[in-house]
Amino acid sequence: MTSLHGIYPYLVSPVDPATGAVREAVLRRLVEHLVDAGVHGLSPLGSTGESPYLNGEQRAEIVRITVAAARGRVPVVPGVAAFATQQAVAEARRYAGLGADGLVLILQQYFPLPRAAVAGFFRDVAAAVPSCPVVLYSNPRLAGVALPADLVAELAEVPNIQYFKEASGQTGEILTVLNRTRMKVFSASAHIPLTVLQLGGVGWMAGPACLLPRECVALYDLAVAGEWEKAMALQRRLWRVNEVFGKHGLAACVKAGLELQGFEVGPPVAPQLPLGEAAVAEIGAALREAAS
Amino acid sequence: MTSLHGIYPYLVSPVDPATGAVREAVLRRLVEHLVDAGVHGLSPLGSTGESPYLNGEQRAEIVRITVAAARGRVPVVPGVAAFATQQAVAEARRYAGLGADGLVLILQQYFPLPRAAVAGFFRDVAAAVPSCPVVLYSNPRLAGVALPADLVAELAEVPNIQYFKEASGQTGEILTVLNRTRMKVFSASAHIPLTVLQLGGVGWMAGPACLLPRECVALYDLAVAGEWEKAMALQRRLWRVNEVFGKHGLAACVKAGLELQGFEVGPPVAPQLPLGEAAVAEIGAALREAAS
Amino acid sequence: MTSLHGIYPYLVSPVDPATGAVREAVLRRLVEHLVDAGVHGLSPLGSTGESPYLNGEQRAEIVRITVAAARGRVPVVPGVAAFATQQAVAEARRYAGLGADGLVLILQQYFPLPRAAVAGFFRDVAAAVPSCPVVLYSNPRLAGVALPADLVAELAEVPNIQYFKEASGQTGEILTVLNRTRMKVFSASAHIPLTVLQLGGVGWMAGPACLLPRECVALYDLAVAGEWEKAMALQRRLWRVNEVFGKHGLAACVKAGLELQGFEVGPPVAPQLPLGEAAVAEIGAALREAAS
Amino acid sequence: MTSLHGIYPYLVSPVDPATGAVREAVLRRLVEHLVDAGVHGLSPLGSTGESPYLNGEQRAEIVRITVAAARGRVPVVPGVAAFATQQAVAEARRYAGLGADGLVLILQQYFPLPRAAVAGFFRDVAAAVPSCPVVLYSNPRLAGVALPADLVAELAEVPNIQYFKEASGQTGEILTVLNRTRMKVFSASAHIPLTVLQLGGVGWMAGPACLLPRECVALYDLAVAGEWEKAMALQRRLWRVNEVFGKHGLAACVKAGLELQGFEVGPPVAPQLPLGEAAVAEIGAALREAAS
């Protein structure tokens, strides 16, 4: 089973606003650019990838293109987000069949679910793709379901559930999980990525890494080398980007930033609105500051 | 344009848990039973219909069967719930093409949206089906988007947005909307339906009406006749059902109750769990009490 | 034990912003005005009375003045709000000793408390003033503690806990309590007061009644007479006031409205800010509309 | 002005449950024990000190005793928590007069306040004790008021507002404040204290330090010495205590732990309940594990 670590940019989903067609050339060029910059893997269809705003065909197309463009140089680990177990199982199998090296799995909430139902979802989907490593993703703010540490510990017994990504922003939860389980932990952008690495995390899956791949890889390399002071100086410079993204919305910001960098990824999927001029200027400034 | 009023049961979605196939015979029998009981319309694909847990083919199949079974005797007003405008537009057109007489429209939230984006969603979907009356549905607890009264007032200017259904449980919101707009209001089960009728509401769209169609129709008839004391006595008896449903989860409760009544609608869609014995017994008792 | 029903204005607390002294003459004149207008009782030290913003001496002074000014013509039912049982017991005894005819009792939350602790608070305070009727007050939005219906039912067994005031705005909770307990229910301004009377409520404890006492009494009288249509027409006219208060903050609004009516009650207690000109104009307009 | 840094145990408030009297001998013995163990300062009347559950006389008595027992060996920095500006000003002056070396200032919310009102509270109280360093305390979970980074930045311009303590658990907020302001930051127990020190924090104000003063001081010393690996190993061992406290309630846990250690601090103030046997055993186990 592929081992996952390092910087995984969350890819945006470049979709034509009029026709809904995936812009294959743009996505291929973005993948090439990121792999060139040294990222350790690619994660399409995360929050940054606007997964809930796409239909099944768009989603499969994005996985297909990403795998093709990556050409085996780095692992491709798409997100699977669903309300229903059967839909998640179907998507997980489809992406594995398309060549995905792992999955980031998230349960969306409509009706509140008891703990046993939440556990059942993750167990059933993981069992459907037994040779595929699964990243358990807890994102109560966007998806409505929190995964408390004792549930993470229970799911850590499933052989292919090997990673945990926490996006509540409560960094203490990560230490609890690391203390109690064998889970390997990825940082989300709601946390300070360097802090997660200091706690023992294995990487960072993040929208900002689409825009600042070299800087994110440098942060990871400094952490691996134990160069904590240099790493902290770089982290402080990079943090502004997380702040701006938190303020204006993840997908809209990354898409606007990529447009500034010359990638015609288009606007966020409606009803989301493109950012206004002031917000775009703020993103541009944060990127320049972070890259300096 | 069809005028909507009265009791609209929210239909469950009887789906085979193993194959995902819609149980057409069961759904047809349920429709026949409800129309016989005097309901004024039918609403498939609401919350009770587990819409977010179904795929597009299952959803279209349910609308097709419901329209066919209703045979024009009562209006069929399915729910359209989506994150993306394009998906909602596609579903709205598809259901209108299948013979739906109106739509209950709900926006699901992933990323928080500014007011203009929310307004844009409802305007764009309504414009796609201009001859179809639209029920604006505000359900912040399940779908994450609240529709404040001034936004409802703005959307009331759209010709085919003519109805409002409020599910926050804050009954005062309904009076505000009735005071300020030309909207006709349907009660959701989070409110006391009789109270909404007393305030000037035109009906009740509800899961419980699947199980107690005659009693719900009787409540509506008493309200229309201005028999407020008898209506309140009946409402107090029926309220226990709303309480039990609020406690155990809407879809699971209505499906369990229909199974008790001999409709083989199956369990709620996974990862939702079927209710335990104690909850089923509580539902049975509440139904007997309400029907007595 | 005094029986409570009808319109109870929540009195503001006119406090000199520089010295903290209670403006006795202003408070006496306000009481006289309200009793003249026909209100059925007086409730100092509620939310409108800014109870948490006053110290113990200010609070006792306000009860003393209100009792003196009421001269036995109507019951005086002050609020007791506290985090600690001992403080609530001390205040309850002090106000009973000053001549209060009942108490509105509210528990403020700092640390989340288990159900048994919440029940214990209400039992212990009620037991300290056994000849004083107690209004159980549930206000999760401002005080942090919700009183679910089964806890209300348990506390309804305490002889002098006889009333329930619900301020969550979930009107269905009131029907549940009325169905299950012997509690008499007062409306809070988060509900539509007429609706609570239609459900069987005994009155309305409210900030707006400070400003519109005659109209509020008229609403109550119409409801008691079963003149539901006239009552609803008046309720619709009055509702605008509740909306404006919900928008700008209760105490600040009632104080601003009373200043417009010639009562020099002063600004809300700091750090609360006085309302701006636009908000004051909106309050003036709502009062004129409601009184027309 | 005294400079604050290092480990500040939040003192419990040992109050006789029957009489309300402060147990002076117990509090003096606890202070002696903590100073002996090397703590850098003492913080009575924080959350752990159950400040909202005490009356003004109890609070002043606790400050007086703590100052007397500390005998100038370490700074005493009591909490001031209030809804009203005038009450906070009065308490701040009183504690400064009793010899406090600084204040931890927290605004409690009843009515939601606009930003200008929140800023005004902190400015006015700080201006009342101009020679007293002030720790700005953001605790939205318990007190209801969040202090966003731009407000903290604005308040950092006030000469004696020099410290920031963040208790939302969103560690990223701390990096934002450190990046943008001159504030010195203390960790709260909702964060991983070592992480805050790694980010540049100056210390930890904490309930657990009442129970594990030597271990907390050792953690701080390792961080100051840049011994990050040893510090992380100790932090991981200590973290269990934070977890248990988060589960059972801060004040109740620290009081139960101190009773286990032979300090007769009594139960938490009613209506809080003493912990049950199982919880006390869990605390005992966590303390043994942390101290091993």
Q: Is the pLDDT of residue A292 over 80?
A: no
Handedness of CA A123, A125, A129, A135 (dihedral sign): negative
Mean pLDDT of A20-43: 98
Contacts of B201 in chain C (CB under 8 A): none
Contacts of C232 in chain B (CB under 8 A): 198-199
Whether residues D107 and C272 touch (CB distance < 8 A) is answered with no
Query: Could you say which of D20, D111, D124 has the minimum Cβ distance to residue C251?
Result: D111
Mutation site for C-interface testing, chosen from B171, B229, B236, B242 by largest number of C Cβ within 10 Å: B171
The confidence score (pLDDT) of residue B291 equals 85
Contacts of C242 in chain B (CB under 8 A): 172
Render pLDDT for D99-155 as a digit per residue (tens, 0 to 9). Answer: 999 999 999 999 999 999 999 999 999 999 999 999 999 999 888 899 999 999 999
Q: What is the ipTM of this complex?
A: 0.95
Contacts of A199 in chain D (CB under 8 A): 192, 195, 232
Share of chain A above pLDDT 70, in %: 100
pTM of the model: 0.96
Q: Is the pLDDT of residue D2 over 90?
A: no
How far is the C-alpha of C95 from the C-alpha of A97, rounded, in Å? 75
Query: Could you say which of D178, D232, D242 has the minimum Cβ distance to residue A172?
Result: D242
Which two three-digit tokens encode residue C183?
């509690």
Q: Is the pLDDT of residue D292 over 80?
A: no
Q: Is the pLDDT of residue D47 over 80?
A: yes
What's the N-to-C CA distance of chain B in angstroms? 38
Whether residues B271 and A55 touch (CB distance < 8 A) is answered with no
Q: Is the pLDDT of residue D28 over 80?
A: yes
Neighbours, chain C (3 or more CB pairs < 8 A)? B, D
Whether residues C171 and B171 touch (CB distance < 8 A) is answered with yes
Contacts of B235 in chain C (CB under 8 A): 175
Buried b vs exposed e over B162-179: b needs ≥16 C-beta within 10 Å?
bbbbbbbbbbbbbbbbbb
pLDDT level of residue A224 (50, 70, 90 thresholds): very high
Chain A interface, Cβ < 8 Å to B: 20, 47, 50, 52-56, 83-87, 107-108, 110-114, 116-118, 120-121, 124, 142-144, 249-252, 269-273
Contacts of D251 in chain C (CB under 8 A): 111
Whether residues D83 and C52 touch (CB distance < 8 A) is answered with yes
Share of chain B above pLDDT 70, in %: 100
For chain A, helix, strand, coil in percent to 5 are: 50, 15, 35
Q: Is the pLDDT of residue B292 over 90?
A: no
Count of CB atoms within 10 A of residue B64's CB? 18
Chain C interface, Cβ < 8 Å to D: 20, 47, 50, 52-56, 83-87, 107-108, 110-114, 116-118, 120-121, 124, 142-144, 249-252, 269-273
Mean pLDDT of D31-41: 98
Task: Look at residues B122, B153, B150 and name the one whose alpha carbon lies nearest to residue B137.
Answer: B122
pLDDT level of residue B82 (50, 70, 90 thresholds): very high
Mutation site for C-interface testing, chosen from D272, D273, D275 by largest number of C Cβ within 10 Å: D272
> Which of B255-261's residues contact partners 24+ apart within 8 Å by CB, and which partners?
B255/B12, B256/B280, B256/B283, B257/B210, B257/B211, B257/B283, B257/B284, B257/B287, B258/B12, B258/B30, B258/B210, B258/B211, B260/B284, B260/B287, B261/B211
pLDDT level of residue D82 (50, 70, 90 thresholds): very high
pLDDT level of residue B212 (50, 70, 90 thresholds): very high
Mean pLDDT of C66-94: 98
Mean pLDDT of C173-192: 95
Query: Could you say which of A176, A195, A242 has the minimum Cβ distance to residue D195?
Result: A195
Whether residues D172 and A242 touch (CB distance < 8 A) is answered with yes
Contacts of A236 in chain D (CB under 8 A): 175, 178-179
CA C219 to chain centre: 17
Mean pLDDT for all residues in chain B:
96
Contacts of C235 in chain B (CB under 8 A): 175
- Determine the residue of chain B that is closest to A86 in CA distance: B270
Buried b vs exposed e over A67-81: b needs ≥16 C-beta within 10 Å?
bebbeeebbbbbbbb
Contacts of A228 in chain D (CB under 8 A): 198, 228
CB burial class (10 A; 0-12, 13-18, 19+) of residue D278? exposed
Contacts of A242 in chain D (CB under 8 A): 172
Contacts of A232 in chain D (CB under 8 A): 198-199
Q: Is the pLDDT of residue C292 over 80?
A: no
For residue A256, the 8-state DSSP code is H
- Determine the residue of chain D that is closest to C111 in CA distance: D142
Mean pLDDT of D152-180: 96
The helix or strand, by DSSP H or E, that contains position A161, with its residue range, turns out to be: strand A161-166
Whether residues D191 and A171 touch (CB distance < 8 A) is answered with yes
pLDDT level of residue B249 (50, 70, 90 thresholds): confident
Handedness of CA B168, A53, A209, B114 (dihedral sign): negative
Mean pLDDT of B266-286: 96
pLDDT level of residue D269 (50, 70, 90 thresholds): very high
Instruction: Look at A248 and B43; give whichever has higher pLDDT.
Output: B43
- State the smallest CA–CA distance between residue C237 and chain B in angstroms: 9
Share of chain A above pLDDT 90, in %: 92
pLDDT level of residue C206 (50, 70, 90 thresholds): confident
Q: Do chains A and C touch (3 or more CB pairs under 8 A)?
A: no
Mean pLDDT of B71-97: 98
* Three-class secondary structure of residue D96 per DSSP: helix
pLDDT level of residue B265 (50, 70, 90 thresholds): very high
Which two three-digit tokens encode residue A196?
């997660």
Task: Look at residues B14, B15, B73 and name the one whose alpha carbon lies nearest to residue B42.
Answer: B73
Mean pLDDT of B94-98: 98
CA angle B51, B53, B55 (to 5 degrees): 85
- Determine the residue of chain A that is closest to B269 in CA distance: A84
The confidence score (pLDDT) of residue D137 equals 96
CB pairs under 8 A between A and D: 64
The confidence score (pLDDT) of residue D91 equals 98
Query: Could you say which of B117, B252, B270 has the minimum Cβ distance to residue A86?
Result: B270
Query: Could you say which of A175, A228, A240 has the minimum Cβ distance to residue D239?
Result: A175
- State the smallest CA–CA distance between residue D240 and chain A in angstroms: 8
The confidence score (pLDDT) of residue B204 equals 97
Query: Could you say which of C179, C242, C243 has the minimum Cβ distance to residue B239?
Result: C179
- Determine the residue of chain D that is closest to C247 in CA distance: D112
A134-148, C87-101, D16-30: which has the minimum mean pLDDT?
A: A134-148
Give residue for tokens 């556990």: A119
The confidence score (pLDDT) of residue B233 equals 97
How far is the C-alpha of B13 from the C-alpha of A46, rounded, in Å? 29
Mean pLDDT of B208-226: 97
Q: Do chains B and A touch (3 or more CB pairs under 8 A)?
A: yes
Q: Is the pLDDT of residue A4 over 90?
A: yes
Q: Where are the alpha helices (DSSP H) in D39-170?
A: 56-70, 85-97, 115-128, 140-143, 149-155
Contacts of B108 in chain A (CB under 8 A): 52
- Determine the residue of chain D that is closest to C120 in CA distance: D271
Q: Is the pLDDT of residue B173 over 90?
A: yes
Count of CB atoms within 10 A of residue D288's CB? 10
Q: Is the pLDDT of residue B85 over 90?
A: yes
The confidence score (pLDDT) of residue C284 equals 96
Q: Is the pLDDT of residue A211 over 80?
A: yes
How far is the C-alpha of A183 from the C-alpha of A164, rounded, in Å? 6
The confidence score (pLDDT) of residue A175 equals 97
Whether residues A249 and B112 touch (CB distance < 8 A) is answered with yes
- State the smallest CA–CA distance between residue B269 and chain A in angstroms: 7
Render pLDDT for C21-61 as a digit per residue (tens, 0 to 9). Answer: 999 999 999 999 999 999 999 999 999 999 999 999 999 99
- State the smallest CA–CA distance between residue C290 and chain D in angstroms: 25
Contacts of B114 in chain A (CB under 8 A): 273
Task: Look at residues B170, B211, B161 and name the one whose alpha carbon lies nearest to residue B192.
Answer: B170
Whether residues A84 and B113 touch (CB distance < 8 A) is answered with no
Mean pLDDT of D249-264: 95
Mutation site for B-interface testing, chosen from C177, C179, C180, C192 by largest number of B Cβ within 10 Å: C192
- State the smallest CA–CA distance between residue B86 and chain A in angstroms: 7
Q: Is the pLDDT of residue B117 over 90?
A: yes
- Determine the residue of chain A that is closest to B19 in CA distance: A86
- State the smallest CA–CA distance between residue A4 and chain D in angstroms: 24
